[in-house]
Chains A and B, each alone.
Chain A
């Protein structure tokens, strides 16, 4: 894909018959994109271990309360809606990035950031509530695996937000150059990936607790 080729710096000087630096850059970004997909698959495998562990251990409450007694459906549903919406706004932000519209990029990724932050807020609130009621990682195997699975996802969201914040900072500072559009592309992949993982968490952890 010829991502914003016209904006690359130094286009005018290039008069070589072989590979131009732009080709070189396009190839490099193609490789990075592919490598990032491979990375996402490795991350997915980490999650698959945590899901498997949760599937094995979720009944082992050692006398403590089960998921059905602990989880709140409205919170989980709100979190899901927040994250799904953020995926949508992230997609619109990417369209703006490809068109090279800096203002819209900042606006839509800004909304995405806010939605992600709200999601994280709900999750932290839920965790704090559990902790206050005395349900911690140490209580039993069910809670160990619950906190680890959901917490790992939350940690990913946190790093996604950090990444988004820094990238947007650079967009403000340096403008929307190729390098940053590439960063945003990877970031949006990451964000959608986390959305998919969350859908599985919502289904397997929260919904199945009430079946």
Chain B
């Protein structure tokens, strides 16, 4: 009876170790604080109507940013825990983590950073910026977009669920290579949580990607031919087409793994004719393109930034776009370089080794076009530009290391060493994460209506890049010295400990960089009056998103612009803007279907993890019912009439802050530094304590 009701769940699944208790308490406390604040401010209805059920891609984009930012802190904590263990655990000392717990941490770190941080940030940027760049009012399917977002949230909860129930995450590495991830070697629920967090968010990614392919290909403003699209839109299109091509592979592979574990099939098992090597192939056929899915939109971001701040069109637009397309296409045929040592034979290894080296060509072409864009440009070294320059340095280092790894004979030495870990961190942090930071800083005025504080932003950048070099250059060295990845204990005779300690110090400096980034946002909010963006075009931008007010209204454009050239807004600015002719606008209605479907998907996943049959049966039926109700509802839009639009626009213009007299361009002196911020915060806190203001709360 108990078996039927709650499956494998039992008392032992409740938190009873320090990290599960700590994790549960931390998440519980955060949730409690959020609930108290929202209740006290009476904002539940507002939250539900304005944000959670919203189908506006701009709001969904912001929600992606918030959750991804939170997950970045969560994944960063994992990274520090890994480094701390490795710095301590030498000879007699076992460090502070058990081997099993250590393995769970690096698995969770990889999953969280790739799926729930990088992917989510990229989707946030695409959501907010792409419709504005192509002159669209909305996405092709607003519903698929909210569904994709909520499935991502389902995945986020699933990946953290083990704290509260189960007490273990997968200890298999981020791709859960078979047969280690099979029932035989991983009998617990950790791998099941892994499967379902990836499965739920992965399906969301596929749906969201289909939506963006539709949007970019079908909803561009009149006149914007495919060769006039801004670079970020190009990067997003390449990336989303790749996502559409490979995420189904992940979905299918995860299902097969799930069948192996739940039903007892023999796909990837050691017995019954199963083939674990096939799993490695299938997962990397998705896994390798996945990192390019992340980095190509970042390429697009850098293209926008370097051309805006060099005040030049991108050097050789066509070559740049072809570079992105080349990377996207070739990345589908390099996956085997992840396992040259498997023994596929010299011919196969040679092919994939060559492909790996060839893919460096379009990537280098991209790097050269960015550098050429700066040549003879009037460069402004703003924070986004600093991230760009840091990216060029780190990405080149990482790329060259990648080519070394792509040579099969060298790879036999370097395979699974820290050299590899340093390589992909150079590319993922230097490429993807720096791209995300650059993009968020660049588009922050558009998103929030205020520019970000430059001074603290620069401090944060320098912490990041110094910390990065300190953390990862020793890692390359260690890799060459023979240190394998995922080591939780080693002998001091190897001489590795100083390097591990350096890495920990680098990690701490990166953490300071993260703290500075949070401080940067806080400082910008405090001095929002000075940083407010009155024009909608703070950087003298080039593409259409800068033609809208900051932040953009829910319908993006009062009048859909007509595009005649590349850098459409740059050309428009040279001509006088015509007085807008208001028109009726169709706006999609909010919907909670995405939330319900995702909730049931989560419950179904939970049922699969704990083998609670009734739960997943009921949830799957509920999902079908929700989908039917939604798709047969043909009342999903309403019309904003021209008169209403005019009223809204006039109200906005009346409320908009007046453009202030132009101050000196780089007035850094008045800008708040980190010490000023600390002083302000301390003074405020002291004031609260002195005047006993908390009583009013």
Contact = CB atoms under 8 A, between A and B. Distances in A.
Interface of A: 16, 18-19, 21, 24, 30-32, 34-35, 38-39, 41-43, 45-46, 49-50, 52-53, 56-57, 60-62, 137-142, 144-145, 148, 162, 166, 170, 177, 179, 183
Contact of A141 (B141, B210, B263, B267): B267
B271 to A, nearest CB: 8
Contact of A45 (B248, B255, B624): B248
A145 B282 CA distance: 14
A34 B218 contact: yes
A153 to B, nearest CB: 13
Contacts of B583: 16, 18-19
B259 A42 contact: no
Nearest to B273: A60
A70 B273 CA distance: 18
A137 B210 contact: no
Nearest to A162: B624
Contacts of B256: 49, 53, 148
Given A60-B273, A137-B265, A145-B267, A49 B244 contact: no
B251 interface: yes
Interface in B192-226: 206, 210-211, 213-214, 217-219
A59 to B, nearest CB: 8
Interface of B: 140-141, 144, 206, 210-211, 213-214, 217-219, 244-249, 251-253, 255-256, 259, 263-267, 269, 271-275, 278, 282, 583-584, 586, 624, 628, 631-632, 634, 639
B146 to A, nearest CB: 15
A140 B267 CA distance: 9
26 contacts: A24-B586, A31-B218, A35-B140, A35-B144, A35-B211, A38-B213, A39-B210, A42-B248, A45-B252, A49-B249, A49-B253, A50-B252, A60-B272, A60-B273, A61-B273, A62-B271, A137-B259, A137-B265, A139-B272, A141-B266, A141-B267, A141-B269, A141-B273, A144-B272, A148-B255, A148-B256
B141 A32 contact: yes
B632 A166 contact: yes
Contact of B584 (A18, A34, A62, A139): A18
B317 to A, nearest CB: 26
B632 A170 contact: yes
Interface of A is mostly: helix
Contacts of A24: 586
Contacts of B624: 162
A30 B218 CA distance: 9
The 3 closest A-B pairs by CB, nearest first: A60-B273, A141-B273, A144-B265
Contact of B265 (A30, A148, A183): A148
Given A18-B584, A21-B586, A53-B267, 12 more contacts: A31-B141, A34-B218, A35-B141, A42-B244, A46-B252, A49-B282, A56-B275, A62-B266, A62-B271, A137-B264, A141-B275, A144-B259
A62 B273 contact: yes
B278 A137 contact: no
A166 B624 CA distance: 12
B141 A138 contact: no
A60 B214 contact: no
Contacts of B248: 42-43, 45-46, 49
A148 B259 contact: yes
A169 B159 CA distance: 40
A56 B282 CA distance: 12
A16 B252 contact: no
Nearest to B207: A39
Best-surrounded residue of B144, B218, B583 (most CB of chain A within 10 A):
B218
Contacts of B206: 42
Contacts of A140: 266, 272-273
B222 to A, nearest CB: 11
B214 A34 contact: yes
Nearest to A141: B273
Contact of B267 (A16, A57, A183): A57
Contacts of B213: 35, 38
B214 A35 contact: yes
A152 to B, nearest CB: 9
Nearest to B264: A138
Contact of B244 (A41, A60, A138, A170): A41
Nearest to B266: A141
Contacts of B259: 137, 144, 148
B628 to A, nearest CB: 6
A183 B628 CA distance: 12
Nearest to B584: A16
Contacts of A142: 273
Contacts of B634: 177, 179
A60 B263 CA distance: 18
Contacts of A137: 259, 263-265
A34 B210 CA distance: 10
A144 B266 contact: yes
Contacts of B267: 53, 57, 141, 144-145, 148
Contacts of A45: 245-246, 248-249, 252
Contacts of B628: 166
Contacts of B272: 60, 62, 138-141, 144
A121 to B, nearest CB: 21
B53 to A, nearest CB: 21
Contacts of A52: 282
A170 to B, nearest CB: 6
A177 B634 CA distance: 11
Contacts of A183: 631-632
A53 B278 contact: yes
B417 to A, nearest CB: 30
Contacts of B639: 21
A146 to B, nearest CB: 11
A177 B266 CA distance: 48
A16 B248 CA distance: 43
Given A137-B263, A141-B274, A162-B624, A38 B214 contact: yes
Contacts of A41: 244
Contacts of B217: 34
B236 to A, nearest CB: 15
Contacts of B214: 31, 34-35, 38
A202 B247 CA distance: 26
A41 B242 CA distance: 12
Contacts of A34: 214, 217-218
A169 B246 CA distance: 36
Given A60-B274, A61-B273, A141-B266, A42 B247 contact: yes
A193 B663 CA distance: 63
